Amino acid sequence: MLWLAFGLPSGSEWFWIFVVVFLLFGAKKLPELARGVGKALGEFHKAREDFEREMHHSLREPEVGSSPVTAQPSSAPSVPAATSNGPIPREEKKSS
């Protein structure tokens, strides 16, 4: 990660990078290499857009078939709420 401290290559550095790549891969392989890099970048861009679209879609609309929670009276006995002094006290059973 030390190379990040120096920043990105500038004008003449790009020229030398291109010369080294040209010497390594040759003139016949460069178009294939560029085509592969272009396809990879296109796939990455498409995947990123799909991900962002899905995130925005899921945040805007609730799931289909889910209903909002409504308050309905229940037949179950009510449970006392916790107090600020501590947990809810339990009823002790009396032994006979």
What is the C-alpha to C-alpha distance for residues 74 and 94, in angstroms, rounded to an integer?
29
Other CB atoms within a 10 A radius of the CB of residue 21 amount to: 13
* pTM of the entire predicted model: 0.42
Structural domain for 40, as ranges = 27-61
Q: Is residue 33 part of a domain?
A: yes
For residue 82, being part of any structural domain is answered with no
Do residues 88 and 79 touch, judged by C-beta distance below 8 A? yes
Alpha-carbon dihedral angle through residues 60, 63, 65, 66, given to the nearest 10 degrees: -90
Burial class (CB in 10 A: 0-12, 13-18, 19+), 30: middle
Calculate mean pLDDT across residues 45-63: 87
| 89 pLDDT higher than 70 | no
- Mean pLDDT (the chain) is 75
Amino acid at 22: F
Residue 47 lies in a domain: yes
pLDDT at residue 75, rounded to an integer: 57
Give residue-wise pLDDT tens across range 15-44.
Answer: 898 889 888 888 888 889 889 999 999 999
Phi, psi for residue 73 in degrees, rounded to 5: -65, 140
Strongest mean pLDDT among 13-22, 32-41, 55-64, 84-93: 32-41
Average pLDDT of 66-70?
56
- Could you tell me if residue 51 is inside a domain? yes
Q: Is residue 79 part of a domain?
A: no
